[in-house]
Amino acid sequence: MKWLNNLCSFYICVKYTHLKLSQNINLAVDGIIFGYQDHSLYVLLIKQKYGSQKGKWALPGGFVLDDERLIDAVKREVKEETGVEVQYLEQLYTFGDDIDRDPRFRVVSVAYFGTVNPKRMVLKPTTDALDAQWYSIDEIPKLAFDHAMIIKVALDRLRSKLNYQPVGFNLLDNRFPFSDLEQLYMTILDRDIDRRNFRKKILSLGFVEETDEYHKSGSGRPGKLFKFNSKKYKELEQEGINLDIKFA
């Protein structure tokens, strides 16, 4: 490995001669796609069709094409394998330290997590005959590779996002009763919320707005429908909503 010691000279050598660096690492992406419906949070999984992990469920994902941006690779793979078109994706973490699995075929995978709203949760049949399904996060089956751990990391990230960013735009329908937002937060955080305080806090932040429409519920008093104010939402996404340490 002596010849690799000096990154720069080696890099240039490769760059200028167009040699392939003899590195045996392959780059993949995985998508952790969350959906929310009926008080439950779901993750999108596919069934492995071949190989040692055959029959096991796994996250959708695959290898990155040479001329493809990472995020586009995720979108493509998720679409191909499940039919779901994801709007919002954000980079989660790069997993690549499982060097013992098969040293001759190491895979480093950049995980992205994303959210889709209920309308986009429809699974379309794809040319790839893989089985694809939404699983409630409480009922995830045994997964291939280290995907169970990856989902845990994604969930932690989603939970902590609630504390410093508005969340929901990509998980709820266009118009929604306020209780849906409550339920969403309670589901993700897995604890109870005081309805009055929650409503006060969210409305005071201004990224959710009343509309004139009403929700026809099965029973009980119909509630107003709300919508996200996407301008304000994006503002708060950048600024953060928990600016609590205001030293100075």
Q: Which of residues 183-202 bind DNA (CB under 7 A)?
A: 194-197, 199-201
- Of the candidate residues 39, 87, 99, 174, the single one contacting a second copy (CB under 8 A): 99
Tell the smallest beta-carbon distance from residue 235 to a second copy (Å): 17
Q: 177 is in the binding site of which of DNA, a second copy, none (Cβ under 5 to 8 A by kind)?
A: DNA
Q: Does 15 help bind DNA (rule: CB under 7 A)?
A: no
Q: 71 is in the binding site of which of a second copy, DNA, none (Cβ under 5 to 8 A by kind)?
A: a second copy
For the window 171-190, what string marks contact with a second copy as x by the rule CB under 8 A?
--------------x---x-
- Of the candidate residues 66, 67, 100, 244, the single one contacting DNA (CB under 7 A): 244
> Cα torsion at 173, 57, 123, 121 (round to 10°)?
0
Q: 4 is in the binding site of which of DNA, a second copy, none (Cβ under 5 to 8 A by kind)?
A: a second copy
- CA within 13 Å, CB half, 10: 11
